[in-house]
């Protein structure tokens, strides 16, 4: 895929406090490498998990993000979760869609019930009202009935659910290959080309 394939196109990426923050980081990297502009929103709990799982320094967020994501073909725009007046909070802003990865059950519930009291849930609400792609990557186990009912409600509204469930038919040998498989499935769900894993039936 050309590095400039996504030039001039915007995707919103949300990272919540569910375990699996590496999924959101890898997705952002892949979108940036493809030339997209990535509008990143991280919940307060998401920052804590990034620190716990990936040693991200939440005390100097913008500098840390620039260090991690800078120098790629695309552009990263960071929006604090409390900035309800950010560009992505309006339907007049032309974003291609939004992916919340990983998506906590709390955020999923707020989206399902139209509770847009921060930028993460407001941006998701915008995607719903503007009929733009919205993909959620739930990361929780076990699931109880409320979780499942909320997922079903959103699925019936056209929201794509891509649970963080690994596959093994591509014979992953590293944790990175397991992460890339899920990120690749997310990109598949929104029609973005990638070479993150070997597909079933594909020659070596």
Any residues with CB less than 8 A from the CB of 77 and at least 6 apart, and which? 37, 38, 39, 40
Mean pLDDT confidence for 5-9: 68
Q: Can you count the helices (H) and strands (E) in the chain? A: 7, 6
pLDDT band at 196 (very low <50, low <70, confident <90, very high): confident
Predicted local distance difference test score (pLDDT) of residue 202? 75
Global pTM reads 0.93
Residue 153 has pLDDT above 90, yes or no: yes
Rounded CA-CA distance 182/189 in Å is 11
Q: What is the pLDDT of residue 5?
A: 58
Pairing of strands 97-103, 75-80: unpaired
Judged by average pLDDT, the poorest of 1-5, 29-33, 61-65, 111-115 is: 1-5
**Could you tell me if 79 and 41 are in contact, meaning their C-beta atoms sit under 8 angstroms apart?**
yes
Indicate if the pLDDT at residue 1 is higher than 70.
no
* Closest C-alpha to 114, from 128, 101, 102: 128
Reference 29, options 81, 71, 86, 57; nearest CA is 71
Give Dmax (Cα) for the chain. 48
Q: Is the pLDDT of residue 13 over 50?
A: yes
Domain 10-189, CATH class in plain words = alpha beta
Give pLDDT, residue 81. 97
Amino acid 60: pLDDT: 84
- Computed over every residue of the chain, the mean pLDDT equals 93
Burial 71-85 (b: 16+ CB within 10 A, else e): ebbbebbbbebeeee
Q: What is the pLDDT of residue 204?
A: 57
Please enumerate in sequence order all residues whose Cβ is within 8 A of that of 55, keeping only pairs 6 or more positions apart, or say none. none
Contact by Cβ (8 Å): 10, 40? no
């Amino acid at each position: 895929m050309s590095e400039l394939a996504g030039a001039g196109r915007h995707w919103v990426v949300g990272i919540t406090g569910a375990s699996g923050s590496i999924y959101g980081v890898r997705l952002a990297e892949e979108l940036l490498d493809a030339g997209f502009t990535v509008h990143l929103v991280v919940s307060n709990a998401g920052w804590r998990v990034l620190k716990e799982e990936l040693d991200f320094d939440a005390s100097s967020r913008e500098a840390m993000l620039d260090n991690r994501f800078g120098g790629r073909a695309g552009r990263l725009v960071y929006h604090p979760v409390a900035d309800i007046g950010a560009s992505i909070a309006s339907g007049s802003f032309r974003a291609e869609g939004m992916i919340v990865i990983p998506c906590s059950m709390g955020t999923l519930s707020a989206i399902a019930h139209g509770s847009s009291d921060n930028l993460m849930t407001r941006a998701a609400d915008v995607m719903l009202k503007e009929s733009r792609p919205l993909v959620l990557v739930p990361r929780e186990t076990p699931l109880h009935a409320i979780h499942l009912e909320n997922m079903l409600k959103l699925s019936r509204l056209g929201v794509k659910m891509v649970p963080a469930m690994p596959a093994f038919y591509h014979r992953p040998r590293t944790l990175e290959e397991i992460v890339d498989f899920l990120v690749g499935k997310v990109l598949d769900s929104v029609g973005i080309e990638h070479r993150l894993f070997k597909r079933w039936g594909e020659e070596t």
